[in-house]
């Protein structure tokens, strides 16, 4: 919808609230004292109030609706998020991203695609704290993770009860009874082998969705639906023959 349509569809109270937001903030601390950046963020918030900008907009949506460059859209989104998101909010955004990772065809690296620039910085900071380097030269919206990096991230972000329940479900599905990290290493090996035989890598979501959501009872079915049960059996035979 166009801006005019959003204004017409918004309730009278919503429009009043948006106008009050603009006028009251513009007069604080005095008329004309806001910087250009503050004014941009003020209008950005007002456009959110009337529904023209979504609560969690994509960069492409901002570029189209605001008619700005991708760089400016990233800057506006970054500063808006700095003002409203705390550590827990950012952690939850990272967890959401971990529900839908991609895996490269060679099976060496996982990739997380995150439009929100502040969440990207938050994730990179966590990875650096855990001792893993990050590379943003290929795209500012993508984060590549080695198997060890994503396992350490999961180890850090999930509580002990969550990890133990997940481990038990993976063991039920056929993986060796091992520590959470040990089990996840085998899970990733199975995923890499499966993805190598598939046209796409979205298959990873079938396992990561239940894992991150705590839907432990769905992990076994998700792995069977993804065809990982046969991969697991093949891995076990290979291990036995070389052992």
Structure pTM?
0.80
pLDDT value of residue 243:
59
Cβ-contact 212, 204 below 8 angstroms: no
Residues 80 and 95 in one domain: no
Mean pLDDT value of segment 162-166: 93
With bands split at pLDDT 50, 70 and 90, how would you rate the model's confidence at 198? low
Q: Are residues 17 and 106 both part of a single domain? A: no
Last residue of a domain, one of 38, 60, 84: 84
The per-residue pLDDT for 56 is 83
Q: Which of 29, 49, 84 is the last residue of a domain?
A: 84
Using the predicted structure, report yes or no on whether residue 162 has a pLDDT greater than 50. Answer: yes
Q: What is the mean pLDDT of residues 8-24?
A: 92
| pLDDT confidence band for 221 (50 / 70 / 90) | confident
Q: What pLDDT score was predicted for residue 105?
A: 59
In this structure, are 29 and 122 located in the same domain? no
**Same domain assignment for residues 136 and 72:** no
Asked if residue 100 and residue 51 are part of one domain, the reply reads: no
> How many angstroms separate the CA atoms of 162 and 166, rounded?
6
Q: Is residue 177 within 8 Å of residue 171, measured between CB atoms?
A: yes
Query: What range does the domain containing 56 cover?
Result: 3-84
Least confident of 13-22, 137-146, 172-181: 137-146
Mean pLDDT, all residues of the chain: 86
CA angle 41, 46, 49 (to 5 degrees): 130
pLDDT at 41 over 50: yes
Residue where a domain stops, chosen among 84, 119, 152: 84
For residues 215 and 128, membership in a common domain is answered with yes
Share of the chain above pLDDT 70, in %: 92
pLDDT tier for residue 100 given thresholds of 50, 70 and 90: confident
pLDDT of residue 197: 61
13 and 37 in a single domain? The answer is yes
Q: How far is CA 52 from the centre of its chain?
A: 23
**Residue 192's pLDDT band (boundaries 50, 70, 90)?**
confident
Domain count across the chain: 2
| Same-domain pairing of 70 and 170 | no
- pLDDT beyond 90 at 103: no
Residue with structure tokens 């839907």? Answer: 215
Residues 182 and 202 sit within 8 Å (Cβ to Cβ):
no
- Whether the predicted pLDDT of 107 surpasses 60: no
Looking at the predicted structure, is the pLDDT value of residue 69 above 80?
yes
HSE value, Cβ hemisphere, 13 Å, CA-based, for 205:
9
Query: Domain check: are 35 and 106 in the same one?
Result: no
Whether residue 231 sits in one domain with residue 131 = yes
Q: Are residues 122 and 233 in the same domain?
A: yes
Query: With bands split at pLDDT 50, 70 and 90, how would you rate the model's confidence at 146?
Result: confident
pLDDT number for residue 200: 47
Q: Mean pLDDT, to the nearest integer, of 165-173?
A: 89
Find the Cα–Cα–Cα–Cα dihedral 31, 36, 37, 41, rounded to 10°.
Answer: 60
Same domain, 52 and 97: no
Give the mean model confidence (pLDDT) for residues 205-218: 87
């Amino acid at each position: 919808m166009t801006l005019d349509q959003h204004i017409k569809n918004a309730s009278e109270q919503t429009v009043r609230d948006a106008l009050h937001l603009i006028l009251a903030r513009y007069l604080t601390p005095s008329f004309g004292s806001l910087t250009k950046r503050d004014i941009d963020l003020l209008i950005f918030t007002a456009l959110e109030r009337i529904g023209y900008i979504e609560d969690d907009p994509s960069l492409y949506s901002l570029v189209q609706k605001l008619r700005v460059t991708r760089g400016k859209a990233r800057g506006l989104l970054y500063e808006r998020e700095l003002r409203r998101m705390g550590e827990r909010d950012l952690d939850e955004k990272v967890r959401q991203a971990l529900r839908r990772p991609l895996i490269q065809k060679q099976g060496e690296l996982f990739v997380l695609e995150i439009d929100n620039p502040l969440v990207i910085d938050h994730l990179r900071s966590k990875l650096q704290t855990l001792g893993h380097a990050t590379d943003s030269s290929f795209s500012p919206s993508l984060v590549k993770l080695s198997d060890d990096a994503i396992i350490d991230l999961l180890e850090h972000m999930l509580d002990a009860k969550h990890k133990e329940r997940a481990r038990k479900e993976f063991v039920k599905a056929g993986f060796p009874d091992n520590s959470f990290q040990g089990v996840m290493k085998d899970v990733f090996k199975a995923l890499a082998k499966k993805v190598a035989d598939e046209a796409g890598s979205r298959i990873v979501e079938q396992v990561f969705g239940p894992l991150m959501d705590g839907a432990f009872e769905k992990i076994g079915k998700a792995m069977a639906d993804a065809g990982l049960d046969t991969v697991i059996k093949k891995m076990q035979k290979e291990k036995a023959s070389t052992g």
